Chains A and B, each alone.
Chain A
Amino acid sequence: MPVRPSGNNKVKGAETMREKWITKEEIEHIAQLAHIELTDEEKEVFTEQFNRILDFFRKIDEVDTRSIPPMYHVLDIVNVYREDEVGGTLPKESVLENAPKKEEQFFKSPRIV
C-alpha cells in the first residue's frame, strides 16, 4: 500500500475506494496551468490513469537519497559562451511562413487584453 506523505493532503473527500494521489479537480487545475483543455470524459480517464502512473512513480520513495546530489545533466557542461558576433538570420518571410495568422510582418495573436 502506498503511504501518503504528509504535506500532500490536498485531496478532498474521503478515500473510500483506494488511496488517491491526484483528484479530478487537481488534474483540471494542472491542465489549466499547462493550457490544455480536457473533455469531461478525458478528465475521468486521466484521473484513473494518473493515479496508477503516480502510484508507480512513488516507487522511488523507497530509495534513501538524502546524501545523493541531483543529476540535472549527463555532461559536466555548465555554460557555453561564444564570441558576440553577428551571424546570419532567416529572412522575415520564411519565419512568418508557418504562422497560422499574420498581418504585415507580424504574428497575429488572439486577444490578450
Chain B
Amino acid sequence: MSTPRLHEMRAVKVADKIRRGEITAEDYIWSIINRAKSVDGKINAFITMASEEALEKARDIDRKIARGEKIGRLAGVAVAVKDNICTFGIRTTCASRMLEDFIPPYDATVISRLKKEDAIIIGKTNMDEFAMGTTTETSYFGPTRNPWNLSKVPGGSSGGSAAALAADEATLALGSDTGGSVRCPASYCSVIGFKPTYGSVSRYGLIAYANSLEQIGPLAKSTVDCALLLSVIGGYDPYDSTSVKMPIEDYFGSFTSDLKGLKIGLPKEFFDEGVEEPVKKHVWSAIHKLEDLGALYEETSLPSLEFALAAYYIIAMSEASSNLARYDGLRYGYRIEHDDADYSRVYAKNRRIGFGAEVRRRIILGTYALSAGYYEQYYLKALKIRMLIRREFESALKKFDVLAGPTMPLPPFDIGEKINDPLTLYMCDILTVPANLTGYPAISIPCGFEGDLPVGMQIIGKPFDEKNLLKISFAFENNTDFAKRKPGLQ
C-alpha cells in the first residue's frame, strides 16, 4: 500500500507529524489547497476558500514549533466549516443571497475552540440555503456534487462539509444538524457524521434555523478523528443559554474492538416498506458484524415514529419563521437599491430577492402554523407528538443501550430528481429527525456500498452517551474497510 499523500491523512496523524516536525503545517496546507484546486471545480464543496489566511496560520504554527512552544491538539489540521457557522473576518453566507456579503464580526464558540487548539479554517462549505434541505441543491451558489458519483446529490444540508472530506479537500469538517443535516451527507459521502446530544455543543455563532432542534456536529474520515473534533468543540459555554454543564469525557479510553454485552434495539419502523431494499441489506449485514463483535440485538417498536416527520417539519418551520424574521436588510443582509417605498414593502422585497424558494416556503408555512386559529392544530399538537416520541425513546433506551437502523431510507439519488417536489424530499428525513426531536445523540457510520453509492448506518444513543456511540463506531470501523475506501476522483 502506498503511503497516503498529505491531504489524505487522518487528523490525528497530521497533528502528530506536524507536532514532531516530520512535516510542516505549510506543506500540508499547500497539499490541501492544491487538492481543492484540482477537484473542487467538479464538486463545489466550498463557497469560500480561506487559502491565504490558512497559509499564514500554518507558517505561524511552524514558527511556534521551531521555537519549541506548546502546540494545540489539532496542530495545523485543516477544518472545513459549514457556511452557517460564524467565522471572524471570513464571509459567512448560509448559502443565501441574503448573506452573500456578510462578514461576521466575531467567531462562533466552536471556531474559537478550534483556533485555541491550533486548527486551521481552510474554507466555508456549501449547504442548503439556511440549512433547509436534504441535498445541498438549494444553495444560492449552486449544488454540491457527490464525490462518489458526480451526478448524485451529496446529501444535505451539510453537503459541502461531507463532500470536502470524501474528496480529501479537508481533513476534518463541521456541519450542523437540525433534522439530519450532518448524518445525511455523512451517509451519502461515506464519512462519519455525529449529531451530539442537544446542549453539549455551543450554538453561539451558529446562524439559527430551528433552535430547539439543532446542534453543530463533527464530520470526519475516522472515528478517532471524529472523537478528537467533538472533544475540542464540546462543553459548556456561557454564551449559549441552552448549553449544558457537563464534564468533557475521555472518548478514547473506551475504544476497543469488543462490543460484548452491548444491547442494540432495532425499531421495526426503521426497516419498514419506506426503506429501500439495498439499504436494508447493507445495514443488516452491518448489524451482523456488530453481533460478531459481541453485541446482542432485538427488534423493538416506536409506534409514534409514524408521526415524527410531520411534527418535526411543523416545529422546524415554526421556529424558522421566527428566527428568520431578523433578515430585514437593515443591519446586514440583502437590501434593494431603491428603497424609498413604505418600509414593509421594502422588507418584503428584500426577503423575496434575498431568500430562495425553499426558505420562503418554510417561513410562510411556519408563520401559518403559528398564526391564530392554527396554532393548536399544528404547532401545539406537534409539540405534544414530540413528547410522545421522547417518551417512547426514553423507555426503549431503558431496555437497550442504543437503537440502530439506516441513516437514509434510500441511496444517493440524482441531482434534480426530487428538488421540485418538496414533500417527497422531506420524506427523506424520516429516519434522522427523531434524534432532533428527542435531543438524543446519533451517529452515521459508513456501512456499505450499493454499486458505487455509499450506505450509512445510524446509531442513536442515550442523552450524553456520545462515548458509547463512538465506541461502537470505532469497533465497526476497525473490523470493516468501508471508511478506508476512496472515491475514484482524479
Contact = CB atoms under 8 A, between A and B. Distances in A.
Interface of A: 5, 7-8, 10, 22, 26-27, 30-39, 42, 46, 49-50, 52-54, 56-63, 65, 68-75, 77, 80, 82, 90, 94-95, 97-101, 107, 109-112
Interface string B322-364: 0001001111111100011111111111011001010011011
Given A37-B345, A63-B384, A70-B386, 5 more contacts: A70-B380, A71-B390, A73-B242, A80-B241, A107-B330
Contacts of B386: 70-71
Given A75-B199, A82-B238, A31 B364 contact: yes
B352 A37 contact: yes
Contact of A110 (B199, B238, B332, B343): B343
B422 A60 contact: no
Contacts of B330: 99-100, 107, 109
B352 A36 contact: yes
Interface stretch (B114-122, B223-231, B270-278, B305-313): B305-313
Interface hub of A27, A107, A109 (most chain B Cβ within 10 A): A109
B355 A36 contact: yes
Contacts of A58: 310
Contacts of B6: none
A53 B422 contact: yes
Given A63-B385, A70-B383, A90 B105 contact: yes
A74 B390 CA distance: 9
Contacts of B2: none
A8 B242 CA distance: 36
A60 B381 contact: yes
Interface string B431-468: 00000001100000000000000000000000000000
Contacts of B212: 72-74
A65 B241 contact: no
A36 B360 contact: yes
A100 B105 CA distance: 15
Interface hub of A68, A98, A99, A110 (most chain B Cβ within 10 A): A110
Contacts of B238: 82
A110 B346 contact: yes
A109 B335 CA distance: 10
B247 interface: no
Contact of A56 (B199, B332, B380, B423): B423
SS of B interface (majority) = helix
Contacts of A99: 330-332
Contacts of B368: 22, 26, 30, 50
A36 to B, nearest CB: 5
Interface size class of B (residues with CB under 8 A): 35 or more
B298 interface: no
Nearest to A68: B384
SS of A interface (majority) = loop
B251 interface: no
A96 to B, nearest CB: 8
B103 interface: yes
19 contacts: A8-B377, A31-B348, A36-B351, A38-B352, A49-B361, A56-B310, A60-B314, A61-B381, A63-B381, A63-B388, A70-B387, A71-B383, A73-B242, A75-B242, A90-B105, A95-B331, A97-B105, A100-B334, A101-B339
B99 to A, nearest CB: 9
Interface in B273-316: 304, 306-307, 310-311, 313-314
Given A37-B349, A57-B314, A74 B438 contact: yes
A98 B384 contact: no
A36 B105 CA distance: 27
A34 B385 CA distance: 26
Contacts of B342: 110-111
